[in-house]
Amino acid sequence: MTEQRKLPEPPKTLLERAESMFGLGGYSPAPVPKDLKQPVNRRPKRATPKGKPVEQAEAGSEPVYEDVEFSGTVHEVDRECLARHGLIQPEGQVTALLEEFRIVKRQVLASVRKAQEGSHGALAQRVLVCSPHPDEGKSYCAANLALAMAAEKDSEVLLVDADFAKPSLLKMLGLPKGPGFMDILARDDLKVEDCVIATDIAGLYVLPAGNHTTQDSEYLASHRTAEVLDRLTRAAPGRIVIFDSPPALAASPAAELANHVGQAIVVARADRTGQSALEDALTLLSACPDLKLLLNAAHFSPSGRRFGAYYGEGE
């Protein structure tokens, strides 16, 4: 018969011996708190008055950009003012002017998409329209570019009058005066979306120049400018912001704005702008990564191009 004996117990571990000696009452996992601490790489959400979740930035985290909604009040653009200033008529026939600016906007939008795919971020959505000297057609080209771009189905355009000393866009479009870009830069209590004018042209918004100061360049060079522009573009990837700036060789704000845009269109008048002036203006705007030239008031085409006439011809 096989002898059966009680097998010896395995030796106790150091922790088990300590428990038997000091009576620690056994071991159990630490209790898990009901509300865990927020991870450092996440931001808590809070509810806005409208109930929309908005992320709240913590110390050391990236800035948070809320959706910006412009005023619901719609102002009518005066079509007679458009005609008087030779601008595109949104509901009119296809003209040579419209066709020319369709080509211009295609080049601009292609550059926007390319810059967005690169490393330019929100700068890609901002376009500066400038000229070396006054009376070379920069405001005319900025307004027509905005009118042509407003017809796009996948984007909207905000036209900003940044010519603080001699604003002209409101007059060209027949829109009412009000606080604008410079007022927002000079006052922390103003929100940019409250100063934007919504128009009856689908996709077109306008930001007036505001009140001129003796420190326009200094305000543009402040951190407030970057904050305002980031608020406009970072939360709205389909929004294109077009700035009509003062002439580069007549006022310094153009060079300051060049630091905040992804591309600049320098308007040269065919019968007026000299080469040296154009080169000097391009140098002042060199902070912008993408400089383009737009020839204005050209009446001769070596190839015989006649945009607009095709749509008026019968079969």
Residue 288 forms part of a structural domain: yes
Residue 33 forms part of a structural domain: no
Residue 294 forms part of a structural domain: yes
The predicted pLDDT at position 1 comes to 54
The predicted pLDDT at position 20 comes to 67
The predicted pLDDT at position 53 comes to 41
Q: Phi/psi at 207 (nearest 5 deg)?
A: -115, 115
Q: What is the CATH number of the domain that holds 268?
A: 3.40.50.300
Residue 247 forms part of a structural domain: yes
The predicted pLDDT at position 118 comes to 83
Residue 161 forms part of a structural domain: yes
The predicted pLDDT at position 50 comes to 40
Q: Are 170 and 181 in contact (CB under 8 A)?
A: no
Q: What is the mean pLDDT of each run of 10 residues along the chain (315 residues)?
A: 62 67 59 56 40 45 62 91 96 93 96 87 93 96 98 94 96 96 94 94 96 93 93 86 97 95 96 94 96 88 59 46
Burial level of 116, CB count in 10 A (0-12/13-18/19+)? Answer: middle
Residue 75 to residues 36, 176, 241, 312: CA-CA distances in angstroms?
Answer: 50, 8, 19, 32
How far is the C-alpha of 224 from the C-alpha of 228, rounded, in Å?
A: 6
The predicted pLDDT at position 35 comes to 63
For the beta sheet containing 239-244, the strands, ordered from the edge strand earlier in sequence to the opposite edge, are 74-75, 197-199, 204-207, 156-161, 239-244, 126-130, 263-269, 291-296
Please give the tally of structural domains in the chain: 1
Torsion of CA 256, 257, 258, 264, to 10 degrees: -150
Burial level of 24, CB count in 10 A (0-12/13-18/19+)? Answer: exposed
In terms of residue numbers, what domain contains 288?
A: 79-312
Torsion of CA 285, 168, 158, 77, to 10 degrees: -160
239-244 and 156-161 as β-strands: parallel, antiparallel, unpaired? parallel
Nearest-10 crossing angle of helices 96-117, 138-149: 80
pTM, rounded to two decimals: 0.77
3-state SS of 114-126 is HHHHCCCHHHHHE
Residue 58 forms part of a structural domain: no
Residues, the chain: 315
> pLDDT tens digits for 74-100?
999 999 999 999 999 999 999 999 999
How far is the C-alpha of 51 from the C-alpha of 274, rounded, in Å?
A: 57
> pLDDT tens digits for 122-144?
899 999 999 999 999 999 999 99
Residue 10 forms part of a structural domain: no
> Over the Cα atoms of the chain, what is R_g?
31
Question: Which structure tokens are listed for 212?
Answer: 């001129």
Residue 44 forms part of a structural domain: no
Residue 205 to residues 28, 66, 170, 193: CA-CA distances in angstroms?
Answer: 64, 19, 11, 10
